Amino acid sequence: MIENIIFAIFAFGALLGATTMIALKDLFRSALCLVVVFISIAGIYVLLNAEFLAVVQVLVYVGAISILIIFAVMLSDDVKIANTSNKFQIPAILLCGAVLALLLISMASTDWHVISYMNASIVEAAQIESLNPAYNGNNVKFSLASLLLTEYVLAFELVSVLLLASLIGALTLMRGRDKQ
Amino acid sequence: MSLETVLGLAAILFVIGIFGVLTKKNIIAVFMSLELMFNSINLTFVGIGHYIMPARIATEIGSVMTGQVFAIFVITVAAAEIAVGLGIIFALYRVNGSIELKTDIGAN
């Protein structure tokens, strides 16, 4: 019950922040609304038992990416009227409504319970072997770190290389041509 | 709070992001809408991983946190994307003196 109330608060915050971000003319204020969305989604992660991901969300999105975005906002000519729209608003609304209807219809017509019961749901698996991490006699691991370094180690290394490449690329782009 | 509400919230956030990407004239607003879309995708991963991660796959892989691992990879790629994207924005500013998307056919 209390979970539902907290989820409703966070969902309302996320939706309100997103719509305000689109609607406001002031680019700086819409960046702050984006921060509200990030924090609300971090709260929903906590409700979904993803505490580490919530911390990562606050650190990376609220801490780093929003600072970068606000720094880039300073490049705009006139920040107070920078967040304007083009003439595609009506077709964009139609397209977005169609996409939303497609997503919601496909979500409603999928029988999620059949999918989860066919393979025994996560709840049963959790009750069998995982709800008690101390009683972890089976090979179900509970830390993200062991999963990252065993099953997904190739993707982990590839992402490290991608981060290095993007670091070098961003430095090269920002330095410009005239310095050499 | 169920799988349907989480997925519905993620779908609405994703659609708002699509609307921002399609209609905004400022390139930073387009970037912010892209970040919103990344966040809704992450919400979908974590929600499905929390509610219906099948036990067969969980025992095959040996863990029940696959959705969170996917979300972590998406966050990393999004961070790389925004670093390079801001580099491109700075280069555009240096060349053009402005970061408005003025040459699109929808601009007036």
Q: Whole-model pTM? A: 0.84
Please state the length of chain A: 180
Tokens linked to B89: 């924005």
Do B28 and B92 form a contact (C-beta atoms < 8 A)?
A: no
Other C-beta atoms lying within 10 Å of the C-beta of residue A149: 12
What pLDDT, on a 0 to 100 scale, did the predictor assign at position A74?
A: 83
A131 Cβ under 8 Å from any chain B Cβ: no
Query: Which residue of B16, B42, B55 is in closest CB contact with A124?
Result: B55
More confident residue, A61 or A114: A61
Q: Which residues of A102-127 are buried (b: 16+ CB within 10 A; e: fewer)?
A: ebbeebeeeebeeebeebebbeebbe
Other C-beta atoms lying within 10 Å of the C-beta of residue A28: 16
A101-119 residue pLDDT tens: 999 999 988 877 655 544 5
Q: Which of B45, B66, B86, B94 is the best substitution to test chain A (most A C-beta atoms within 10 A)?
A: B86
State which amino acid sits at residue B83. Answer: A
Nearest to B19 by CA among A26, A150, A73, A21: A21
Local structure of B64: helix, strand or coil? coil
Local structure of A32: helix, strand or coil? helix
Task: Tell me which chain B residues have a C-beta less than 8 angstroms from the C-beta of A60.
Answer: 75, 79
In angstroms, rounded to a whole number, what is the distance separating the alpha carbons of residues A65 and A148?
Answer: 23
What pLDDT, on a 0 to 100 scale, did the predictor assign at position B103?
A: 56
B42-99 residue pLDDT tens: 999 999 888 876 555 665 665 667 788 899 999 999 999 998 988 888 888 888 777 7
List all residues 6 or more positions away from A94 whose beta carbon is below 8 Å from its beta carbon: none
Q: With bands split at pLDDT 50, 70 and 90, how would you rate the model's confidence at A179?
A: low
Query: Which residue of A7, A86, A140 is in closest CB contact with B59?
Result: A140
Do B49 and B65 form a contact (C-beta atoms < 8 A)?
A: yes
Task: Tell me which chain A residues have a C-beta less than 8 angstroms from the C-beta of B43.
Answer: 41, 44-45
Q: Do B65 and A163 touch (CB under 8 A)?
A: no
Q: What distance in Å separates residue A98's CA from the closest CA in chain B?
A: 10
Residue with tokens 């939303």: A100
Tokens linked to A28: 């700086």
Is 60 exceeded by the pLDDT of residue A134? no
Do A122 and B37 form a contact (C-beta atoms < 8 A)?
A: no
Q: Do A18 and B57 touch (CB under 8 A)?
A: no
Q: Do B32 and A30 touch (CB under 8 A)?
A: yes
Give A104's DSSP letter: H
Task: Tell me which chain B residues have a C-beta less than 8 angstroms from the C-beta of A162.
Answer: 76-77, 80
Tokens linked to B66: 């696959």
